[in-house]
Amino acid sequence: MELQKYIGCSRAARKLEKADLVLKNAKIVNVFTDRVEEGNVAVKNGMIVGIGDYEGVEEIDLKGQYLTSGFIDAHLHLESTMVNPQVLVSRAAQHGTTTFMVDPHEAANVAGTDGIDYILEQTKDSPAHVYVMMASCVPATAVDDNGFELTAEKMAPYLSNRRVLGLGEVMDCWSVIEGDPSMNRKLELFDGKVKDGHAPGLTDEEMAAYVLAGITTDHEGADYEYVMKERSMGMICHIREGSAARNLEMIVKGIVENNTNTEGFCFCTDDKHIEDISREGDIDHNVRKAVSMGINPIAAVKMATIQPARCYGLRRTGAVAPGYDADLVVWDSLKDFNAQMVFYKGRRIDDMLKVKPKPCPSNLMDTVHLGALDPEKLVIRSGGKPFPVLRMIPGQILTAREDLVLPEDENGIFVPDGGIAKIAAFERHKATGKIGVGAVTGFGLKGGAIASSVSHDSHNIIAIGTSDEDILIAVRELERVHGGYTVVENGEVFDTLELPVMGLISDKSYTYVNKKVRRMTAKAHKMGVPRKMEPFVTLSFMALPVIPEIRCTPRGMYSVTEGRLLN
């Protein structure tokens, strides 16, 4: 700590001068003693200096309300919220999240280091701590067609940035396990720093090899048995509750039933729409839901504060105690967890929300380049033989493979019906004209098409539809607006959410984005998408060739479990 700052804090701690702020009559959740303790919290120079009978220049009587450290989102992609990063951080902060562990690999896959710089620049003056885990797999695998390749050499300059804490989710598990030289250079570059994992569906032996490389966390555990296998090998497990991937219920159910120690668990959102954050909350939603299922409230608070802080080496974050940043949240109860007041470094968040998004570089506003599209590439002729079909799994981003005989017309061409639709991925970075096509069940769409340029992690255009004509209309509409979401019904565009910043982020307000997403989601449900399925976020994961079992890429249908293209 800088000397003059320390001297001021020390004098306030010893009551030689008034604190800047005193929060009086608080019920303090002590993450070190696992107790709720009544007291007054003194703040000086943005730091907690003491708990006791203090006087402050400003004093706020909490009247017995609960006080915790600000919550930490242990892993997220800001781009997935679809709004400017500053807008998202400010909105989530009002729900009590004051620290964000950001992996910018969506931006990096589209725009490389320019995309990473955009995330860093947009968030450097945010009313919260925003740290970055360097994108590790750009592209995610050798089968991807993305906009940029991020090597260890290009990552190296970021090591000097104090906000870059480690290596982001290493999703190319096999490059790690099999000792790929380029991947090993990245791992060595971040030696001694946290390396986030992405490890669904590994065997015990594969996971052992993965952990051996220094991977310390994972957020892809979908059930209790799998995360306990990870815990047995020392991994920190981030319990994810986002817009499409909702793993909390299955994991927490096992924790409660087995009375499992929760010290090795944190919470994260990973990918969550701004509309969902506004409606149900951010990490506060994870905590609230975990408590409702039987997790001890103090244990849940620790999973959202001190545990992720320790995981990422944040010495002054995660507790209400002297020497910790005054990132504080006042809650109505330890059941409902409704944030009453939020402070970042001792200042009310409400006083800090007038930050305007910074201008976006022009090159990041022109990233959708399709070129000529050959309609013949959308045609599927399976010859009456079983075809590998992607089956969506409700509430998960995992998929299953089913080999089905597709419905065909008199010319032997696949014709989508009520149960099986067409899925297609279009390369959009370099205008190569690549189109991969397949069939999908479980999406339920009838009489139209839905398309998105948010398509993890290479962010090509992904579409599901019941006719080639509607699919092409949807894709060309996204080209027109430089990326986004669109819904087409019976040959006409119903509505489009424009995401012109890298084809991922809106340049409009979150209220505009919310309104559009709500309207288009309601329409998708009317067109047959199951009510419990978030159509756009779910669709956005259907091209990601690192999550089992089967995906649709611009090169064709891809078996993740077999590591090969299927058509």
Write out pLDDT tens, residues 6-20. 999 999 999 999 999
pLDDT at position 355? 60
Residue-wise pLDDT for 424-470, tens only, equals 999 999 999 999 999 999 999 999 999 999 999 899 999 999 999 99
Domain parsing of the chain, residue ranges: 68-351, 364-565
Among 464, 82, 475, which Cα is nearest to 276's?
A: 82
pLDDT at 352 over 70: no
pLDDT at 80 over 90: no
Question: Half-sphere exposure (CA, 13 Å, Cβ side) for 529?
Answer: 23
Residue-wise pLDDT for 166-224, tens only, equals 999 999 999 999 999 999 999 999 999 999 999 998 999 999 999 999 999 999 999 99
pLDDT at position 353? 59
pLDDT (average), residues 313-330: 98
The SS3 call for residue 246 is strand
Query: What tokens appear for 236 in the block?
Result: 């920190």
pLDDT (average), residues 378-406: 92
**Band of pLDDT at residue 418, cut at 50, 70 and 90:** confident
Query: Could you tell me the CA-to-CA distances from 325 to 1, 61, 70, 331 in Å, in that order?
Result: 12, 20, 10, 18
Among 420, 426, 529, which Cα is nearest to 473's?
A: 426
The SS3 call for residue 238 is strand
Decide which of 349 and 309 is more confident: 309
Q: pTM for the whole thing?
A: 0.92
Among 484, 272, 540, which Cα is nearest to 365's?
A: 484
Degrees to nearest 5, angle at CA 497 with 495 and 501? 155
**Band of pLDDT at residue 473, cut at 50, 70 and 90:** very high
**CATH architecture for residues 68-351:** Alpha-Beta Barrel (3.20)
